Structure 1
Amino acid sequence: MKRILLALAAVLLAGLTACSPPVLEAPVVTESPVVTESPSATASSAAPEASAQAKSEAPEPKAEQGPAAGTALEQLATIEVKGRAPKTGYSREQFGKGWKDPDRNGCDARNDVLQRDLDHTVLKTGGCVVTSGLLADPFTAATIEFVRGNTTSSAVQIDHVVALSDGWQKGAQQLAPNQREAFANDPLNLLAVDGPTNGDKSDSDAATWLPPNKAFRCEYVALQTAVKAKYGLWMTKAERDAIMSILSTSCPDQPVPAGGGAAVPAAVAPAPAPKPAPVKEAPAKAPAGGNVFYQNCTAVKQAGAAPIKAGDPGWDTKFDRDGDGVGCES
């Protein structure tokens, strides 16, 4: 019975095994799995590359450049800045008496400037004196008729761009007399202008007065700068700042005016002429009358020796005009 049961169990087990489905094995993956990065990680890795590229493509910052060569701004940088000196000792005569003829053309500086700045000038017959003309006034932009005369000449005046008094207080005291005279007659420092407006200017510098005609201000301050550079004069800080403001904002390329170069050198006193060597007179020949010597008959008479005879002390044949052996008879 026991054997029969074992045989049945074996048959049942074999049947169950035959009916079970086969077990499939999962394929073996040999490649590495794909890892998906987060957006923040991607952006973080790309940012340094983009930053480096932008840096390489950005233009290099330009070095700050100074004023262009040959400009009034460049020349302004050479002017010394100091305080105003006292006006003590100033007079017009410190700059020479009257108008001079610096270019030696036969005309004084005033008439040279009138001929330069006026149109339709008429000259005095046989000379260079301007008797009439028309001025396009740089200070006011007005047209002014000039007629020479006691009551009319003042309508057009010759302005010292750098006033003589202003120059005196800013270094001209130390100039040699010939340099101050050149400063007062230099065409660079002279302008024909409207008389009343010139009176308003007086001896002001750029810190306290500028031409009403704004279109002329760049040229005006460039002239002032050139004159002060030429003669080694200084500016106050307020004056320099006023000129700097005009040039830098309105006309940074304003050129240095013609004639704004080297200053007139100081006159060199001529070396004293060497004293002539003393002339040694030849010793006088001893007269025939011994060691006594008379210069002339007057001396003979003053000595009480007249008439003097041959052989007397001091005798000389020059006293005997008639050859009779007796001299200084009369």
Structure 2
Amino acid sequence: MKWRIVAHGAALVVTIAVASTAVAPNLGAKGVRPTAAGGSALAVLQTIRVENERPNGYQRSLFEHWRDIDGDGCDSRDQVLKRDSITRAQVDPISCDVVAGDWVSPYDGARFSDPSDIDIDHVVALKEAWDSGAWAWSSATRKAYANDTSDRRTLAAVTDRVNQQKSDKDPSNWLPPLKSYICTYIGNWVAVKARWELSMDRSEWGRIKNLLTSSCSGLTIAASSDAPLMGVMVTVPPTTPITTPTTSPTTRTPAVTSPTTTTKAPSSDTTPATSPATTPSGVATVYPGAWCKPEGATGVAASGKSYVCAKTNASGTPYLDGRARWRQG
């Protein structure tokens, strides 16, 4: 983040590396998060974290996909083929393999009757999900995401060639060739990212905002069902400094305005540090980087270092998600 500081008439530009935190919440016994609110797509976009991606370590095998996770005998690929066929799909009664149907690819409008011509697309590709926060998920959560048929916006039956062109690109680099579907696609993308609490990078968020304030203005999206997130919070080392040009001369005014994020009320998705244990001397034992309450509380980590519960880092920069966490005082 850049700050423009005016001193004796000279403008000094200071670049600060901001630590980011990717979160896959620990959600307790039920293993679900509150339903993502529907409504204005632009309003939902404002709740999504904006941070640099973590493009290391991805392997497709980390997402166990095309599995029967609901126990009905049909894997998720066949379930989507059955769901998206505009006529009743023909299904092998023994293997549950879909052998024929009628599909219209929403990405390009092409029609097919042979399922071998169809790819089942993860609207937010597995690698994109990994880079945006799924790297911190448990294997169970990644499996749930890869086979998510509980919300039809996660998976779509599309033309194989077009899906290969899309690959793992986000909307800043790829949009469906069928222009009449672009706004629906953007709404689905926002819904999936919000539902699974995945972040966006600046170019992705900016492109989507531009569309939602122009050709897709007024777009609304339906509320989503609960996503089975079952991970833990992981703190990421400081990211590469962001050096977007500034246009404001105001003293200590951020040159980059991050999207407004909604501060979530404490709930079952907080980490154990929300209610810190105490040592025999009565001093709270805390977990550095974990969410906390109330703001201003103090404690000591296992290392013996003192920490404070704050919504800003040590440099005074607010955390993007608006939540307080334990940091060194």
Any stretches of 5+ residues in structure 2 without a counterpart? 1-36, 233-329
AA of the residue aligned to 1:117: D
State whether residues 99 and 108 of structure 1, in contact with CA within 8 Å, keep that contact through their aligned partners in structure 2. Answer: yes
**Superposed, which structure 2 residues align to 1:1-330 within 5 Å?**
70-86=39-55, 88-96=56-64, 98-120=65-87, 121-147=89-115, 153=116, 155-187=117-149, 188-257=153-222, 260-266=224-230
Which residue of the partner structure matches residue 326 of structure 2? none
CA deviation string 1:144-169 (max 9, x = no partner): 2224xxxxx1x110001001011111
Q: Deviations over 1:110-151 (max 9, x none)?
A: 01100111123211134532101121110101212224xxxx
Contact 2:118 2:158 in 1 (8 A): yes
Deviates more, 1:228-237 or 1:127-136: 127-136
Cα offset, 1:92, TM superposition: 1.2
Label 1:231 to 1:145 Cα distance change in 2 as closer, same or farther (>3 A): same
CA distance in 1, matches of 2:114, 2:72: 23
Q: Give the superposition deviation at 1:85.
A: 1.3
Deviation at 1:261, TM superposition (A): 4.0
Contact (CA 8 Å) 2:41, 2:219: kept in 1 or not?
A: yes
Distance in 1, matches of 2:163 and 2:225, equals 26
Question: Which residue identity is paired with 1:245?
Answer: N
The whole-number CA distance in structure 1 between the counterparts of 2:222 and 2:79 is 18
- Name the SS for the 2:39 alignment partner: coil
Once the two structures are superposed, what CA deviation does each residue of 1:217-274 show, in whole Å capped at 9, x if it has no partner?
111111111111111110011111111122222333333245x343313179xxxxxx
- The answer to whether the 8 A contact 2:38-2:222 is kept is no
Amino acid at match of 2:126: L
Counterpart of 2:190 in structure 1: which amino acid?
A: T
Give the distance between the partners of 2:211 and 2:120, measured in 1 at CA: 24
What is aligned with 2:6?
Answer: none
Secondary structure, counterpart of 1:193 in structure 2: strand
Q: Give SS of 1:206's match.
A: coil
CA-CA distance at 1:93 after TM superposition: 1.6
Q: Distance in 1 between matches of 2:219 and 2:174?
A: 20
C-alpha distance after superposition, 1:86-109 (max 9, x if no partner): 2x221112112x412233322111
Task: Tell me the matched-pair count.
Answer: 192
Relative to total residues, which structure has the larger strand share, 1 or 2? Answer: 2
* Larger RCO: 1 or 2 (CA < 8 Å, sep 6+): 2
Please state whether the residue corresponding to 1:234 is helix, strand or coil. coil
- What displacement does 1:203 show? 0.5
Q: Which moved more, 1:235-244 or 1:203-212?
A: 235-244
Consecutive unaligned residues in structure 1, runs of 5 or more: 1-67, 148-152, 269-330
User: Is residue 196–residue 229 contact of structure 2 (8 Å, CA) maintained in 1?
Assistant: no
Distance in 2, Cα, partners of 1:186 & 1:238: 27
Deviations 1:45-68 (A, max 9, x none): xxxxxxxxxxxxxxxxxxxxxxx9
Report the CA distance shift for 1:109/1:140 in structure 2 as closer, same or farther (over 3 A).
Answer: same
3-state SS in 2 of match to 1:119:
coil
* Alpha-carbon contact 1:223-1:257 (below 8 Å) kept: no
Quick one: distance in 2 between partners of 1:257 and 1:219? 11
For residues 187-235 of structure 1, what are the alpha-carbon distances to aligned partners after superposition, in whole Å with 9 as ceiling and x for unaligned? 3311000000000001100000000011111111111111111111100
RMSD, aligned α-carbons: 2.0
Question: Secondary structure in 1 aligned to 2:120?
Answer: strand
SS at match of 1:249: coil
Aligned partners of 2:219, 2:114: CA distance in 1, in Å? 30
CA distance 1:241–1:267, change in 2 (3 Å)? closer
TM-score when normalising by structure 1: 0.55
